[in-house]
Amino acid sequence: MADRIAELADQMTLDEKVSILSGEDFWSVPAVPRLGIGKLRVTDGPNGARGGGSLIGGVKSASFPVGIALGATWNVDLVKEIGAALADEVKSKGAHMLLAPTVNIHRSVTNGRNFECYSEDPILSGELAVAYIVGLQGQGIGATVKHFVGNESEIERTTISSEIDERSLREIYLIPFEWAVKKADTWGVMSSYNRLNGTFTSEHNWLLTSVLRQEWGYDGIVMSDWFGSHSTAETVNAGLDLEMPGPPRDRGQKLIDAVNSGAVSQDTLHERVINMLRLMERVGSLDDHSEWQERAHDRPEHSALIRRAGAEAAVLLKNNGALPLNGDGSIAVIGPNAKIAQIMGGGSAQLNAHYRISPWQGLVSALGEDRLRYAPGCTNHRFEPVLRGQFKVEYFANETLAGEPAHVASQDEAQAFWIGHIADGKVDPLHFSARLTGSYTPETSGTHRVGIYSAGFAKVFVDGKLIADAWTNWQKGRTFFEEGCDEVVGTVELQAGRAHEVVIEFATKAFATLGLAAFAAGIGKPLGDDAIAEAVRVARNADTAIVFIGRNGEWDTEGSDLPSIDLPGRQNELVAAIANANPNTIVVLQTGGPVEMPWIGSVAALIQAWYPGQEAGNAIADVLTGVAEPSGRLPQTFPVRWADNPAHSQDREVYPGVEGKVRYEEGIFVGYRHYDRLGMTPLFPFGFGLGYARFAVSDLTVDDTEFEAEGSVMVGLSVTNTSDRDGAAVVQLYVSDDIASDPRPAKELKAFRKVQLKAGESRQITMTLDARAFAFYRVQAKHWLVEDGRFTLRVGLSSVDLPLTATVERKTTLMLPV
């Protein structure tokens, strides 16, 4: 095939070569019909395959557990299985490549995109990424590991410079990408939006050429994040193969001119083309001339996998005997997430799921509705609930709603995300206006809140009166990937049972970085003291109270960091009130990361359920009832308070950033390394999780015969299920450099193994540590170094539960290449 690729490249004209180095549209790279080269199509991931539709609506897709949930499984075999299943999903959408996995590190507990990433630890992240990629690419679908590198915050993410020293890059942030290249042979890498130490990653020669290609031997492609290219010759020369999306902004004729002027050499252009053709051959698009067809293929086997994975991701954080549920007593089902299925985070990872099972539905299926009583208690939404119903949409080929509509359509909700081809192509997607007309019939009378936020100008009229105005004084905010304004809210008196006319007017505006138009409008009636009082009454009259709280994809979303890790709204107050009314109170928490828990001492049990995909309610019910074992373990430390997190600082340049820079001052001391360094006790430590089954580790053995010569060590131990239930233990192996010449963490995770054991079963396992497990990076010398001296190996079931220890010792140093 190499000969064929070389021949095709030699036959291509300059125009044809340039054409495949940028997108044709939002989701595809153009074909070259003259040479029989097919079109390459990509789709967003990582927790599903959305296809070529909008972030809102579109062809339905399977929704899998989000990244942090997969991180909580600590199960490489399961993640590999999910990768293979996602390949089927990508094929259903007529695509060849999935824009996944996301492997950025949980530096801060407030990163809006933490839900999409695996862990605060690079080894856990790296090994899960490898499994995901191997599963996906084993079915012929290309992976695109992202975002390379330093995208650990969503604040000013398209322009900010992540200031990261090289040692921290090498030991923390680059590891998952390095593993993806060296261990999984990923076919795609996506550059991040941000700058790295002053230079956009999409034109960073050291990152894309020196490290990625020369040091790691990468032979796949590097594509930009969408609109993440900012130059022509600079990106091509640095190693960026593909500008996305299309039509091109920095390439096309600009690249032809750069080649003709000598700013980009023929050799460099040829290398980029070869990389693209090699990718097309690997994913099968080179000879794919089929018509693009997207199918909503709801596979029962994928639903079963999602349910199993969602349950395995659940982390039991506290249990005073309240779980699993037993007996036939009455259950109060309370909270804002009880009847609303929170299945995914927001941003480019969101999709139109085949269905959504709420916790209420899951419990009804498992226990029957007769045992259940419901009360919402409070709300937790960031924005007013999106208005659902039939809307007439009139599109105008101008930005003033003038004249006759160019196109008329309908939609069933008051939100839209317009990109690429819209209104049957009758308006310019970046220069148009629209009027939506519909109605809202409230269930109760009284004061209602009307909210609107938009990437563009927008107004909401109710019964002909302007209620919410995001047009007149529009200001950039934290919505729609930082292209939108914050929500503007007005109030209006509405009557129950009456259909009130709602009209929404929208017009595009100049964009900052991402070329899109979008809005969302909602109407809601606030819940007050009476709602909490009713929830308390329901809880007091039940044998057990289960409170479903947390956040949703409005909070945990791309394009916006969290303002804090407090639970939104009055949820803390709700939990405290319910726990006071019923001592048998169980909390089910759904978030994309840690929250502060002032009520933790008063509840009987706590489960962290994350966003587990479309089977959310069934998976949660399986864990609550004991049908499934909660074998998840925390992939991120939960601090007692936000201020304990390593990125929290009085110096705003450390976080969230100042004057275009965010400085990673903590260096290598991220996550549990930080808490160890300060001797600080977190609320729940990294790697922690209880279960219905119980486990013990014993009989540690160490084979260090190759340690002096090769730097490798074999570790063996026995794992025993000491309970009368089947279950799974996550065995964790940490390494400490007892006396190091450079500052090093007190311990670092270097290997782990998830072990399924039947009740009473015991099994011997082995884990291998290579030389890199003992090494740190020396920046000036440009190599990894294993020092002479003693290293301590610590083995156990969490980062603070490490009962087994042993030491190994070297007499000489060992230098390892990059």
**Is residue 362 assigned to a domain?**
yes
- CB neighbours of residue 782 within 10 Å: 12
Residues 80 and 34 in one domain: yes
pLDDT value at 235 more than 90: yes
Three-state DSSP class for 532? helix
Classify residue 642: in a domain, yes or no.
no
**What order do you get walking across the sheet with 713-721 strand by strand?**
695-703, 713-721, 762-769
Q: Which of 733, 614, 721 is nearest to 306 (CA)?
A: 614
Q: What is the mean pLDDT of the chain?
A: 97
Contacts of 458 (CB under 8 A, 6+ apart): 452, 470, 471, 504, 505, 506, 507, 519, 521
Quickly list DSSP for 201-261.
Answer: GGG-HIIIIIIIIIIT---SEEEPPTT----SHHHHHHT--BB-SSS-SSSTHHHHHHHHH
Residue 514's pLDDT is 82
Q: Are residues 235 and 266 in the same domain?
A: yes
Within 10 angstroms of residue 292's Cβ, the number of other Cβ atoms is 14
Q: Is residue 296 part of a domain?
A: no
Residue 262 CB: number of other CB atoms within 10 A? 9
Give every CB contact of residue 452 below 8 A, 6+ residues apart in sequence: 458, 459, 460, 468, 469, 470, 487, 488, 504, 519, 520, 521, 522
Residue 609's pLDDT is what? 98
Q: What is the CATH number of the domain that holds 399?
A: 2.60.120.260
Asked whether residue 648 is assigned to any structural domain, the reply reads: no
Write the CA distances from 313 to 118, 590, 607, 814, integer angstroms. 12, 12, 10, 39
Choose the final residue of a domain: 508, 524, 540: 524
Query: Is pLDDT at 247 greater than 70 in this prediction?
Result: yes
Q: Please give the pLDDT value at position 482.
A: 87
> Which tens digits make up the pLDDT trace of 305-355?
999 999 999 999 999 999 999 888 999 999 999 999 999 999 999 999 999
What's the rounded Cα separation, in Å, for the pair 377 and 314? 24
Least Cα distance to 413 among 387, 393, 438 occurs for 387
Tokens of 436: 């939506």
Same domain, 511 and 559: no
343 occurs within a structural domain: yes
Question: Would 618 be classed as within a structural domain?
Answer: yes
Distance CA 77, CA 154 (A): 31
User: Closest Cα partner for 596 from 684, 689, 710, 495?
Assistant: 684
d(CA 591, CA 69): 10
In a domain, 801, yes or no: yes
Mean pLDDT over 34-57 rounds to 92
In this structure, are residues 460 and 467 in contact, taking their beta carbons and an 8 Å threshold? yes
pLDDT at 1: 65
Average pLDDT (358-386) is 97
Q: Greatest CA separation found in the chain?
A: 84
766: β partners: 716
- What domain range includes position 797? 695-816
Q: Within this chain, do residues 516 and 401 fall inside the same structural domain, yes or no? A: yes
Positive or negative torsion for Cα 70, 73, 78, 80: positive
Per-residue confidence at 520, pLDDT binned at 50, 70, 90? very high
Vertex 292 angle, CA 12 and 226, to 5°: 70
pLDDT average, residue stretch 169-173: 98
pLDDT above 70: percentage of residues in the chain: 100
Residue 667 is encoded by which pair of tokens? 């260096």
Q: Quick one: DSSP state of residue 84?
A: H
376 CB contacts (<8 Å, ≥6 apart)?
334, 335, 336, 338, 339, 527, 531, 535
Q: What is the mean pLDDT of residues 123-143?
A: 98
CB-based contact 235:269 (threshold 8 Å) = no
Which residues, other chains included, contact 71 with Cβ-Cβ below 8 Å and sequence gap of 6+?
117, 118, 119, 124, 125, 128, 635, 636
The total domain count for the chain is 4
Q: Show the 3-state SS of 748-775.
A: EEEEEEEEEECCCCEEEEEEEECHHHHC
Q: What does the angle CA 309 – CA 313 – CA 314 come to, to the nearest 5 degrees?
A: 125
CATH number at residue 621: 3.40.50.1700
Strand partners, 818: none
Is 581 found in the same domain as 487?
no
Q: Is the pLDDT of residue 57 over 90?
A: no
Do 413 and 376 contact (CB within 8 A), yes or no?
Answer: no
Which whole number is the average pLDDT over 240-266?
97
Q: Do 366 and 393 share a domain, yes or no?
A: no
State the CB neighbour count (10 A cutoff) for residue 702. 17
pLDDT of residue 370: 96
Domain at 11, CATH number: 3.20.20.300
Would you say residue 515 has pLDDT above 90? no
Using the 3D structure, point to which of 244, 269, 287 is the last residue of a domain: 287
Q: What are phi and psi of 601, to 5 degrees?
A: -75, -15
CATH of the domain at 766: 2.60.40.10
One domain for residues 59 and 165: yes
pLDDT band at 758 (very low <50, low <70, confident <90, very high): very high
Among candidate residues 10, 77, 88, 225, the one labeled active-site is: 225
Same domain, yes or no: 110 and 179:
yes
Write phi, then psi, for 268 (nearest 5 degrees): -65, -45
Phi, psi of 67 (to 5 degrees): -60, -45
Task: Provide, for the chain, the percentages of residues in helix, strand and coil under a 3-state DSSP scheme, each rounded to the nearest 5.
Answer: 25, 30, 45
Tell me, yes or no, whether 106 and 198 share the same domain: yes
Alpha helices for 571-683 (secondary structure H): 571-581, 616-625, 672-678
Do 408 and 541 sit in the same domain of this protein? no
Q: Which residue has the tokens 């828990």?
A: 597
Domain boundary among 474, 496, 524: 524
Cis omega before residue 656 (within 30°)?
yes
In three-state secondary structure terms, 450 is: strand
Is 512's pLDDT higher than 90? no
Q: Summarize the confidence of residues 467-485 as an average pLDDT.
A: 94
Measure Cα distances from 475 to 270, 454, 461, 617 in Å. 45, 10, 20, 38
How many helices (H) and strands (E) in the chain? Answer: 17, 36
The strand pair at 762-769 and 713-721 is best described as: antiparallel
Closest C-alpha among 544, 64, 628 to residue 315 = 628
Statement to judge: residues 438 and 563 lie in one domain: no
Q: Are residues 397 and 420 in the same domain?
A: yes
Q: Does a structural domain hold residue 11?
A: yes
Which three-class secondary structure state does DSSP give residue 644?
helix
Q: How many CB atoms lie within 10 A of CB 23?
A: 24
Task: For residue 225, indicate whether it is catalytic.
Answer: yes
